[in-house]
Amino acid sequence: MKQTETHLQHVNQNIHAKTPNGCEECLQTGSEWVHLRLCLSCGHVGCCDNSPNKHATKHFKTTEHPIIKSFEPGENWEWCYVDKTFVA
């Protein structure tokens, strides 16, 4: 079994975004973001690494939840932080 497949075990197929209107931390602080990412383990919505605060990556570093997906309309991709690869 490839490592990414192991990380897929952390994915919640019925995940719901905790803050569907934007990055959880940026909404709290009034900060702006560029693009949004959804944690597939817990539903945290964080801003991407092009955003000033990089909350999606900070969430991974804090929780070790391995896989995110784009939370942008029209985008359909997933990324594994641990393996640094897109998930098929």
Over the stretch 52-85, which tens digit does the pLDDT of each residue have?
Answer: 999 999 999 999 999 999 999 999 999 999 999 9
d(CA 82, CA 18): 23
**Strands, E assignment, 45-88:** 45-47, 67-70, 78-80, 85-87
What mean pLDDT comes out for the span 36-43? 97
Q: Give the amino acid at 18.
A: K
Instruction: Give the pLDDT band of residue 1 (cuts 50, 70, 90).
Output: very low
Domains of the chain: 3-87 (3.30.40.10)
d(CA 87, CA 55): 20
